[in-house]
Amino acid sequence: MVGTATIKRTENVRCRAAAATTESRWVRWLLIGVSLTFLGLFLAMPLAAVFAQAFSRGWAMYVRSLGDSDALSAIRLTLLVALIAVPVNTVFGVAAAWAIAKFQFFGKSVLITLIDLPYSVSPVISGLVLVLLFGRQGWLGPWLEARGIHVVFAVSGIVLATLFVTFPFVARELIPLMQAQGTEEEEAARLLGASGWQTFRRVTLPNIKWGLLYGVILCNARAMGEFGAVSVVSGHIRGETNTMPLHVEVLYNEYNTTAAFAVASLLALLALVTLVLKSVLQWKTGEQLAPEEQGYTGD
Amino acid sequence: MGKTPGKTLLDKPAVAPKPPEFNFSQRADSKQPQLPVRNMALKQHSILPGFGLTMGFTLFYLSLIVLIPLAGLLLKSATISWDQFYAAVTDPQVVASYKITFGASLVAASVNAVFGLAVAWVLVRYSFPGKNVIDAMVDLPFAMPTAVSGIALTALYAPNGWIGRWLDPLGIEVAYTQLGIMVALTFIGLPFVVRTLQPALEDLDVEIEEAAASLGATRLQTFVRVIFPAIMPALLTGFALAFARALGEYGSVVFISGNLPMKTQIVPLLIMTKLEQYNYAEAAAIAVVALGASFAVLLFINIMQWWSRRYAAA
- Domains of chain A: which residue ranges? 1-54, 58-296
Mean pLDDT calculated for residue range A218-243: 91
B309 at the A interface (CB within 8 A)? no
Per-window interface: B 42-61 vs A, CB < 8 A: 42-44, 46-51, 53-55, 57-58, 61
Hey, is the C-beta of B67 within 8 angstroms of any chain A C-beta?
Answer: yes
**Do B183 and B171 share a structural domain?**
yes
pLDDT surpasses 90 at A21: no
Structural domain total, chain B = 2
Query: A 199-228 residues with CB below 8 A of B?
Result: 199-200, 218, 221, 224-228
Q: How many residues does chain B have?
A: 314
Interface residue B231 vs chain A (CB under 8 A): no
B160 and B42 in a common domain: no
Counting other chains too, the contacts that B83-89 makes at CB distance below 8 Å and 24 or more residues apart are: B84/B281, B84/B285, B85/B285, B88/B281, B88/B282, B88/B285, B88/B286, B89/B285, B89/B286, B89/B288, B89/B289
Same domain? B116 vs B198: yes
Q: What SS3 class is residue B43?
A: strand
> Does B43 contact A184 at a Cβ distance shorter than 8 Å?
no
* A123 vs B contacts (CB less than 8 Å): 146, 248, 250-251, 268
* Residues of chain B contacting residue A20, judged by C-beta atoms under 8 Å apart: 209-210, 213-214, 219
Q: What is the pLDDT of residues A165-182, one digit of tens each?
A: 999 999 999 999 999 998
Rounded Cα–Cα distance for residues A74 and A76 (Å): 5
A291 vs A88, which has greater pLDDT? Answer: A88
Q: Please give the mean pLDDT across all residues of chain A.
A: 87
The Cα of A44 is separated from the nearest Cα of chain B by a number of Å equal to 8
Work out the pLDDT band at A141, boundaries 50, 70, 90: confident
Choose the closest CB to A183 out of B48, B126, B250: B48
Q: Mean pLDDT across the stretch A62-89?
A: 95
Beta carbons of B18 and A226 less than 8 Å apart = no
Pair (B55, B107) in one structural domain: no
Instruction: Choose among B122, B145, B153: nearest Cβ to A32.
Output: B122
pLDDT in tens, A204-217: 999 999 999 999 99
Mean pLDDT value across residues A1-30: 63
Alpha-carbon distances of B129 from B123, B135, B141, rounded to whole Å: 11, 11, 22
Residues B54 and B110 in one domain: no
Q: Which residue of A has its CA nearest to B304?
A: A297
- CB atoms inside a 10 Å sphere around CB B225: 11
Is residue B85 domain-shared with residue B221, that is, in the same domain?
yes
Is the pLDDT confidence value at A9 over 60? Answer: no
pLDDT at A18: 58
Q: Which residue has the higher pLDDT, A152 or A299?
A: A152
- B219 to chain A, any CB pair closer than 8 A? The answer is yes
Interval A262-281 mean pLDDT: 94
B202 shares a domain with B121: yes
Could you tell me the CATH number of the domain that includes residue B286? 1.10.3720.10
Q: Is the dihedral of CA A78, A81, A83, A89 positive or negative?
A: negative
Is residue B128 helix, strand or coil? coil
Residue B8 pLDDT: 39
Q: Does B274 touch chain A (CB under 8 A)?
A: no
Same domain, B72 and B124: no
Residue A13 has pLDDT above 60, yes or no: no
Contacts with B61 from chain A: Cβ below 8 Å: 92, 95
Given B27, B50, B77, the domain boundary residue is B77
- One domain for residues B69 and B86: no
- What does the pLDDT read at residue B312? 66
Q: Hey, what's the torsion of the CAs at A49, A54, A55, A61, to 10 degrees?
A: 170
The predicted-structure confidence for A118-135, as pLDDT tens digits, reads as follows 988 999 999 999 999 988
Q: What are phi and psi of A35, to 5 degrees?
A: -65, -45
* Contact map slice: A 92-151 vs B, CB within 8 A: 92, 95-96, 98-100, 102-107, 111, 114-115, 117-118, 120-125, 128-133, 135, 137-139
Chain B positions in Cβ-Cβ contact with residue A42 (cut-off 8 Å) = 186-187, 190
Q: State residue A139's pLDDT score.
A: 81
Report how far apart, in Å, the C-alpha atoms of B305 and of each of A174, A291, B106, B200, B236 are: 20, 15, 20, 12, 9
Interchain pair A46, B42: CB under 8 A:
no
Q: Pick from B77, B103, B123: which residue ends a domain?
A: B77
Q: Do B195 and A125 touch (CB under 8 A)?
A: no
Cα of first residue to Cα of last residue in chain B, in angstroms, is 43
Q: Which ipTM score applies to this complex?
A: 0.86
CB contact under 8 A, A190 and B287: no
Contacts of residue A27 in chain B, CB cutoff 8 Å? Answer: 219
Alpha-carbon gap: B159 to the closest alpha carbon of chain A (Å): 15
The proportion of chain A whose per-residue pLDDT surpasses 70, expressed as a percent, equals 88
Residues 6+ apart with CB under 8 A from B268: A122, A123, A124, A125, A228, B101, B248, B249, B250, B253, B290
Residues A239-267, buried b or exposed e (16+ Cβ, 10 A)?
Answer: eebbbbbbbbbbbbeeeebbbbbbbbbbb
Digit-by-digit pLDDT tens for chain B (314 residues) are 333 343 333 344 444 444 444 444 444 444 444 444 445 577 888 888 889 999 999 999 999 999 999 998 988 888 888 998 999 999 999 999 999 999 999 999 999 999 999 999 999 999 889 999 999 999 999 999 999 999 999 999 999 999 999 998 998 999 889 999 999 999 999 999 999 999 999 988 888 888 888 898 888 888 999 899 989 989 999 999 999 999 999 999 999 998 888 889 999 999 999 988 888 889 999 999 999 999 998 888 888 778 777 766 65
Contact B147 A298 (CB under 8 A): no
pLDDT(A49) > 60:
yes
Q: Give yes or no for a contact between A82 and A159, defined as CB atoms under 8 angstroms apart.
A: no
- State CA A62 to chain mean position distance: 27
> Testing the interface with B: which of A23, A35, A152 to mutate, by most B Cβ within 10 A?
A35
Closest CA of chain A from B301, distance in Å:
6
Structural domain A58-296, CATH architecture: Orthogonal Bundle (1.10)
Instruction: Give pLDDT, residue A11.
Output: 52
Same domain, yes or no: B170 and B302? yes
Candidates B57, B147, B156; nearest CB to A46? B156
Contact A124 B163 (CB under 8 A): no
> Exposed e or buried b for every residue in B22-34, given b needs 16+ CB within 10 A?
eeebeeebeeeee
Residues in chain B closer than 8 A to A49 (CB atoms): 152, 155-156, 161-162
Q: Spell out which residues of chain A touch residue B274, defining contact as CB-CB under 8 Å.
A: none
Same domain flag for B127 and B205: yes
- Looking at residue A295, what is its pLDDT? 36
Share of chain A above pLDDT 90, in %: 70
Q: Are residues B71 and B84 in the same domain?
A: no
The residue range of the domain holding B124 is: 80-313
Single residue among B54, B77, B100 that ends a domain in this structure? B77
Averaged pLDDT for residues A102-106? 92
